[in-house]
Chains A and B, each alone.
Chain A
Amino acid sequence: MKGIVFTEFLEMVEAAHGIDLAYELQELPGLASGGVFTAIGTYDVEDFLIMLELLTERLGTSMDDLMKGYGEHLFGRFVVLFPDLFLGKTDSLAFLASIEQTIHAEVLKLYPEAELPFFDLAYEGETLVMTYSSKRPMASFAEGLMDGCLLYFGDNRTFTREDLDGQDGTRAVFRVR
């Protein structure tokens, strides 16, 4: 997983719960990275899940809620960090529909080795049907990102989520309208 997901995560924890908790997460045993993260590196997704695990314990929040919350936060950060990606975009549906062609294409230019989640797009009438599939059980993270997206565009769209494949969070269908 891209380093920026880790560094932004740690910064969020630091801002919300103090530097000590952030450092505590980095000191967790079992992190393949040794807790050393940079935005331009690539790290094992397992490290992210280990840190989340501890955070659920400390904050008493569910894993899904944490992922969702972080997803929503990260989208807001993307808007700040990569304003070019949002130039001229006014519609959340159009933006979501163009993720594969624009956002993921941009990411792959800089990080050709990046393993990105895949969205299969279809339309049911006016409804955009996005089927999420990933090696990682992070459908909630995707849901959070979508929350952040709708919040950013503020165009009164809504979406539903339906988990597939035994509901382990690796495959889910989002219907946006």
Chain B
Amino acid sequence: MSEAGESPDRAELEALWLRRLQRERAARKQAEFLIEAKSRELYEANLELSAHRSKLERLVVERTRELEEATDQAQAANRAKSLFLASISHEIRTPLTAILGYSELLTREAPKERHRQGWVRGLRSNSEHLHSLVDNVLDLSQIEAGELVVIMESADVLTLTAEVLAALRPMADRKGVGLTLKCEGPIPRRIETDPLKVRQVLINLVGNAINHTREGSVSVVLSRLGSPEVDRARLGFCVLDTGSGIPREMQAQIFESFVQLKKSGGRPGQGAGLGLSISRRLARLLGGDLEVESELGRGSRFTLTLPDEGQEVAEVVSGEELQDLAWAESSPAIGSASLLHGRRVLVVEDGEDNRRILEYILGAEGGQVRCAVNGQLGVDAFLEAEREGEPFDLVLMDMEMPVMDGYQATGRLGELGCKVPIVALTAGAMSTDRQKCLAAGCAAYLTKPFSLARFCETLNDLLGAQEPTLAESSSLPVEGGRGQSALGDQLPARIINAYLAGLADSAQQLRDASARADWGVVRRLLHQLRGSGGSYGYPEITAASDRCNGSLEDESTRASAIEEFARFLESY
């Protein structure tokens, strides 16, 4: 093969192979590049994943910590609730034990009159204590649940304070403790506040002051705190006593629930230690505060401050005006029940005992009472009276009744154009019950057990506003203030005896209903007995009804629980 002959072919072939080689190399490089890019992509995706994982781990740690905190808080709240329950249970058992003990003594033996009176007094004071305890616990739970309703209105400062002093004067008199009201400097005559809540706080403060003062006096001093130029001017209600004082280390604690001072001699004072806790919360709800200064052995000064922005300030002439107030203090603070004199009252109540007691009390006050045993009959009676031209002036309406309940009856009366005030009577004491009654059209709301003092207050608001009547002297002692107990010891023996004699019937009705397995009737009977027990001054019947009602759920024991309760009723 010649050089010249081979060369062109060879050169061409070489060029061909070179191009192919270059193409293969290019393909290899391209593949390497693609693989590298893919690897980088994977590496970056990995980095992202591990960053994400770390973030998740941090999140888990954070969430775990939050969860632990929440658990701790929940456990603390649970412990607080348990403590609250334990305390309340203890506080309730104490008077309850006394009540059960006294009542057992009274049922077992024929006591000497001297003993009997003591036991009955013991029963009554322990029942009162229990009653106020239940009220306090309800208040506290409502405040804590944020359900307490504050109704702001213009309130007369001096009158309100004087009424509180009047209500507590008998207590102060019994202890021989002086009780005075003073004004320092000009004060606003009226402030925008909730007078019922202010009264509750003042009664607590003044009541405590009287309790802790053995000799000397308690005075309430009204004054304006801070300069009038300052926007947040405040009205101060100072309650000063010359009592035993509060040790410095206790001063912060007394506003906590269930903390109370020991009286001299190491015995704890009355109450569950809820009053000041509630009072401070109420004061704060009203935009004010409650503080204490005290010196051991010298006395204490509790200061309730309330906002009084924009109120006109007037000097209280210390002589004449406070004299007038002093007079006001010595007269019954709360409207006279004789407002009822000549008034026609319709009582709609299914419980025979409650009906009887209301009939008696209202009748004793000069009222003309007619009764109806359920809502339907109540509406009928109302219409009949209208037709006869002798319309009622007031309706007292039990809210839970068979056939037609109080809510329906009130609604029906409203539809019929009834303008007469209807006062709801109910065993429910929560603010939602109150709202329900008012929404149904009731003008006012009273809780059972029936209290004449509260009834008079309500009556004063309803009837007094309509037609002011000159007060005649009342045949019943009128008590002021909040939390008065049932009226048992003010009822004549024949009324009480009729009630007690009827208990055996109730026991039999319970047994019959139980035998028929008519639990609706059983519940209604228990509900009636519960209410009347309190009204007649037999709180142990109320308590036993509650217990029996509580055991209805358990099918295996309800028959024996009813039998036990029936025997208990027959023991009267």
Contacts and interface: CB of A to CB of B under 8 A. Distances in A.
Same complex: yes
Interface of A: 23, 26-27, 34-41
Contact of B31 (A23, A26, A38): A38
The listed residue with most B CB atoms (<10 A of its CB), out of A26, A34, A36, A41, is A36
A27 B19 contact: yes
Given A36-B30, A38-B28, A39-B31, 9 more contacts: A23-B16, A27-B19, A34-B23, A35-B23, A36-B27, A38-B34, A40-B31, A40-B34, A41-B31
A37 B30 CA distance: 8
Q: Which 4 pairs from chain A and chain B are nearest by CB? A: A38-B31, A36-B26, A36-B27, A38-B27
A41 B34 contact: yes
A35 to B, nearest CB: 6
A142 to B, nearest CB: 26
Contacts of B35: 40
Contact of A38 (B20, B30, B38): B30
Given A23-B20, A27-B19, A41 B30 contact: yes
Interface of B: 16, 19-20, 23, 26-28, 30-31, 34-35, 38
A36 B23 contact: yes
Contacts of B31: 38-41
22 contacts: A23-B16, A26-B23, A27-B19, A34-B23, A34-B26, A35-B23, A36-B23, A36-B26, A36-B27, A36-B30, A37-B27, A38-B27, A38-B28, A38-B31, A38-B34, A39-B31, A40-B31, A40-B34, A40-B35, A40-B38, A41-B30, A41-B31
Contacts of A35: 23
Contacts of A41: 30-31, 34
Contacts, number: 25
A125 B188 CA distance: 94
Contacts of B19: 27
A36 to B, nearest CB: 4
Contacts of A26: 23
A105 B19 CA distance: 38
Contacts of A23: 16, 20
A75 to B, nearest CB: 24
The listed residue with most A CB atoms (<10 A of its CB), out of B16, B26, B27, B30, is B27
A174 to B, nearest CB: 33
A36 B320 CA distance: 118
A33 to B, nearest CB: 9
Contacts of B28: 38
A23 B24 CA distance: 11
Nearest to B19: A27
A39 B30 CA distance: 10
Contacts of A34: 23, 26
A36 B30 CA distance: 8
A34 to B, nearest CB: 7
A36 B85 CA distance: 86
Contacts of A27: 19
A82 B517 CA distance: 79
A102 B38 CA distance: 22
A63 to B, nearest CB: 25
Nearest to B32: A38
A34 B20 CA distance: 11
Contacts of B34: 38, 40-41
A5 to B, nearest CB: 15
Contacts of B30: 36, 38, 41
A34 B27 CA distance: 10
Nearest to B20: A23
A36 B19 CA distance: 11
A40 to B, nearest CB: 5
A34 B29 CA distance: 14
B256 to A, nearest CB: 66
A166 to B, nearest CB: 37
A112 to B, nearest CB: 10
A11 to B, nearest CB: 13
A148 to B, nearest CB: 26
A39 B32 CA distance: 11
A38 B20 CA distance: 14
Nearest to A27: B19
Nearest to B30: A38
The listed residue with most A CB atoms (<10 A of its CB), out of B16, B20, B35, is B20
A92 to B, nearest CB: 33
Nearest to A38: B31
Contacts of A36: 23, 26-27, 30
A34 B19 CA distance: 11
Nearest to A26: B23
A41 B19 CA distance: 20
B206 to A, nearest CB: 83
A143 to B, nearest CB: 30
A18 to B, nearest CB: 14
